[in-house]
Amino acid sequence: MAEPSATGRFGEFGGRFVPETLVPACQELEVAFAEAWADPVFRAELDHVLRTYAGRPSMLTECKNLGEQLGIRLVLKREDLNHTGSHKINNVLGQALLAKRMGKKRLVAETGAGQHGVASATAAALFGMECKVYMGAVDVERQALNVFRMKLLGSEVEAVHSGSRTLKDAVNEAMRDWVATVETSHYCLGSVMGPHPYPWMVREFHRVLGDEAREQCIELLGDVPDVAVACVGGGSNAIGLFSGFVDHRTRLVGVEPAGGAAVARAQPGVVHGMRSYLMQDEYGQVQEAHSISAGLDYPGVG
C-alpha cells in the first residue's frame, strides 16, 4: 500500500492546495494523525468503539441464487449493516476521536446522500460535540429522511443553494466554515479527497473494511477473490475495499456514474485542495456531475 510523500502526494496526485489561512490547520492535523495512528492506545480505543458501537466486523453474504445464474461465486461486504447504515461510520469515528484528542469541540461535515452527515451527527452526539452538516439543496429534498435523522441527533443542517446545489457545493461551504472556525472546529471530510492529510487519513480509517473482507473471503472461499467491485463517487467506499486487496492478485473494479465519470473521462486538475482526475471544461472550470444517486454526483475522485 503506497504511502504519501512528504508533500502529501501519491505520485502526481494529492498534495495540499489551500489558502494560507488553512496551511497551519492542515499541518496540525497531519502531525496529530501521524502521532495518533502510531499510538497503540488510540488504535485500541478506535478498535473498541468500532466493535462495540459501529458493530464491526460487518458480515459477508454470499448471493447463491444470483451467483448460480451468473456462473460465479458472488459475495457482498455488508457495510449497510453497520450502525447508521453505511461504511461512513468507520472514518467518522476515527476522525471524531482524533478531533477530541486535539481538543476540538465542534465537527463540520459535508454530505451528499446523507450517510456521512448521519454518521457525523451520530459521532458528535456520542462524544458530546457540536455538529454542523452542509448539504446541497437538491440532496436535502431527495434525502429528507437523512436530514431528519441528523436533526434528531442534535446537528444543524444547512442547505447549500449555490452552484449545482449538490455534494461539490456542500464541500465548498464546509471548507469555508472550517477556515472561519479552525481554532475550535474539525472538518470531518467524508471521502478520500481534500488537502493532505485527508486522503491518507480517510483511507487508513476505512481500510478496516478491506482487511475484514480479505480475511472473510479467504475463510469462506479459500482464497482472495478474482475481482473486487466498488462504486466510486468521492472514493471512500472503494478505497476501503481496495486497500485490502491492492497487494494481492485481485483485480480492482471501480464503477462510476455515467454523469460523473471522473476517472474514465476526465483530466487531471485541482479541486477541493487536491490534484486528481476532475471533470472540467476547456478553460479548466469544474463541470457539474450528475447521478440519480445522491452520493455519486461528484466531479472528481479521491
Contact at 8 Å (CB) between 179 and 22?
yes
Contact at 8 Å (CB) between 107 and 99?
yes
Supply the pLDDT for residue 300.
78
β-strands 227-231, 185-187: how paired? Answer: unpaired
For residue 207, what pLDDT band results from cuts at 50, 70 and 90?
very high
Residues 6+ apart with CB under 8 A from 229: 253, 254, 255
83 is catalytic: no
Degrees, nearest 5: CA angle 92-2-185: 30
Point out the catalytic residue in the list 26, 48, 83, 87.
87
For residue 263, what pLDDT band results from cuts at 50, 70 and 90?
confident
- pLDDT exceeds 80 at position 203: yes
87 is catalytic: yes
Least confident of 1-5, 69-73, 222-226, 257-261: 257-261
Residue ranges per structural domain of the chain: 17-48+85-200
Domain 17-48+85-200: give its CATH architecture: 3-Layer(aba) Sandwich (3.40)
Supply the pLDDT for residue 6.
87
- pLDDT exceeds 80 at position 265: no
Q: How much is the average pLDDT of 67-74?
A: 97
Supply the pLDDT for residue 291.
79
DSSP assignment, residue 84? T
Percent of the chain having pLDDT more than 70?
100
Q: How much is the average pLDDT of 264-287?
A: 85
Point out the catalytic residue in the list 26, 48, 63, 248.
63
Supply the pLDDT for residue 293.
75
Q: How much is the average pLDDT of 211-230?
A: 98
Residue in 245, 199, 190, 238 with CA at minimum distance from that of residue 218: 245
Q: Which set of grid coordinates corresponds to residue 108?
A: 463540520
Residue in 252, 255, 231 with CA at minimum distance from that of residue 243: 252
- Between 57 and 233, where is the model more confident? 57
